[in-house]
């Protein structure tokens, strides 16, 4: 962050806060995360400033929406980075930003699924994940602060999913018989309407942080929207998000422990058939995303080895879809 932006930020912060350190954190093609250290009355505060990349035409959720999601989740008792301040005034650092408390811990999926002790051990961590999901799902469409989220259409969530994915495939314009087979299977087996709740929509290992004792926070809220609670449970349990681990719940621990903790915290039964339905849906959704990333490379608009390799994830997803549906 150049001197002018940093000075703008320093002037915007309440008088008692002075900036003692700022460093760009890794990752994020669309968003930037800055490690921000401030001192107020002799007390150090560890924060993260999240903003858009300058000169990025952002199609992702605006920072103000992401901030509102974090506020709602925090108020519902979900472990998240506490949202502290939001600034949509472009005169301060040139882009909208918000500040949240910095969490300790690691998010690296490959390390988490291989560790017997991180997050307090497999059973403890899986139970925490179940409780975190149960708390997220207490947030309902009546929430005025989340009025910016598209209302859920008047159809079962499974049918909404099939309709959305077919629309994506039609826009891409490349015939995908295996993904069509999977979607047709889902269409024929869609669970009946369930209560509509806030779904995180990217709740998987790699998108939460843990330390040695437990879950420290759920990250990456940009895909959140209204849906069926089983969508999040299925996304977490899908084979493609186990990172090669034999443990069915997020590659971390047993599925039964996840369900038990979720049921205990929510007082609602988990429908195993519905979770399995959403695991197939998760596999299809990840394949559709991976295909669109590979197309960004192949079209020549954004040559990238990483995007090209993402396309080679698709066959394994297609095989999982066929094994689950035939």
Partner 1 sequence: MTDLDGAALLDIARQTLLADIVPALSGDARFKALMVANAMAIAARQAQYGAVAEPADAAALAAAIRAGLRDGDKDLAQTLLELARARCRISSKTAEKAG
Cβ neighbour number for residue 321 with a 10 Å cutoff: 22
**Residue of 159, 226, 237 lying closest to 203 (CA atoms):** 237
Cβ at position 179, least distance to partner 1 in Å: 8
Considering only residues 237-256, where is the footprint of partner 1 by CB under 8 A?
244
* Identity of the residue, 30 or 322, whose beta carbon is nearer to partner 1 in the bound complex: 322
Cβ at position 235, least distance to partner 1 in Å: 20
Q: State yes or no: residue 306 binds partner 1 (CB under 8 A).
A: yes
Given 29, 144, 175, 192, the residue binding partner 1 (CB under 8 A): 175
HEC secondary structure over 169-199: HHHHCCCCHHHHHHHHHHHHHCCCCCCEEEE
**Residue 67: Cβ-neighbour burial (10 angstroms; 0-12, 13-18, 19+):** buried
* Identity of the residue, 110 or 140, whose beta carbon is nearer to partner 1 in the bound complex: 110
Cβ at position 323, least distance to partner 1 in Å: 7
* Identity of the residue, 99 or 280, whose beta carbon is nearer to partner 1 in the bound complex: 280
Question: Token pair of 265, please?
Answer: 């915290």
Q: What angle do CA 207, 213, 219 make, to 5 degrees?
A: 15
Given 51, 283, 293, 325, the residue binding partner 1 (CB under 8 A): 325
Cβ at position 324, least distance to partner 1 in Å: 11
Q: State yes or no: residue 305 binds partner 1 (CB under 8 A).
A: yes
φ, ψ of residue 225 in degrees (nearest 5)? -170, 175
94 dihedral zone (left: phi>0; alpha: psi -120 to 50; beta): left
- Site for partner 1, rule CB under 8 A: 166, 175-178, 180-181, 183-184, 188, 244, 305-306, 308-309, 312-316, 318-319, 321-323, 325-326
């Amino acid at each position: 962050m150049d001197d002018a932006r940093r000075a703008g930020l320093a002037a915007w912060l309440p008088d008692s806060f002075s900036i003692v350190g700022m460093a760009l954190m890794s990752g994020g093609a669309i968003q930037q995360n800055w490690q921000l250290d401030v001192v107020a009355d002799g007390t150090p505060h560890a924060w993260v400033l999240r903003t858009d990349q300058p000169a990025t035409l952002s199609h992702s959720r605006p920072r103000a929406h992401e901030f509102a999601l974090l506020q709602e989740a925090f108020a519902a008792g979900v472990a998240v980075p506490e949202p502290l301040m939001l600034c949509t005034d472009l005169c301060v650092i040139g882009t909208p930003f918000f500040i949240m408390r910095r969490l300790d811990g690691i998010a690296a999926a490959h390390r988490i699924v291989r560790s017997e002790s991180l997050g307090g051990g497999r059973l403890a961590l899986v139970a925490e994940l179940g409780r975190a999901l149960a708390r997220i799902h207490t947030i309902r469409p009546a929430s005025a602060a989340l009025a910016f989220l598209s209302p859920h259409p008047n159809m079962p969530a499974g049918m909404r999913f099939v309709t959305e994915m077919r629309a994506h495939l039609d826009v891409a314009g490349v015939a995908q018989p295996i993904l069509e087979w999977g979607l047709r299977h889902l269409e024929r087996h869609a669970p009946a309407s369930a209560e509509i709740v806030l779904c995180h929509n990217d709740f998987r290992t790699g998108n939460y942080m843990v330390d040695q004792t437990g879950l420290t926070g759920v990250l990456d809220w940009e895909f959140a929207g209204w849906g069926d609670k089983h969508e999040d449970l299925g996304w977490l349990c899908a084979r493609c998000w186990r990172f090669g681990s034999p443990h069915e719940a997020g590659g971390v621990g047993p599925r039964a422990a996840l369900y038990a903790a979720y049921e205990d915290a929510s007082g609602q039964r988990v429908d195993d058939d519905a979770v399995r339905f959403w695991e197939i849906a998760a596999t299809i959704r990840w394949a559709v995303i991976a295909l669109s990333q590979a197309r960004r490379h192949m079209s020549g608009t954004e040559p990238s080895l990483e995007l090209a390799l993402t396309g080679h994830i698709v066959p394994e997803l297609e095989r999982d879809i066929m094994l689950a549906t035939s």
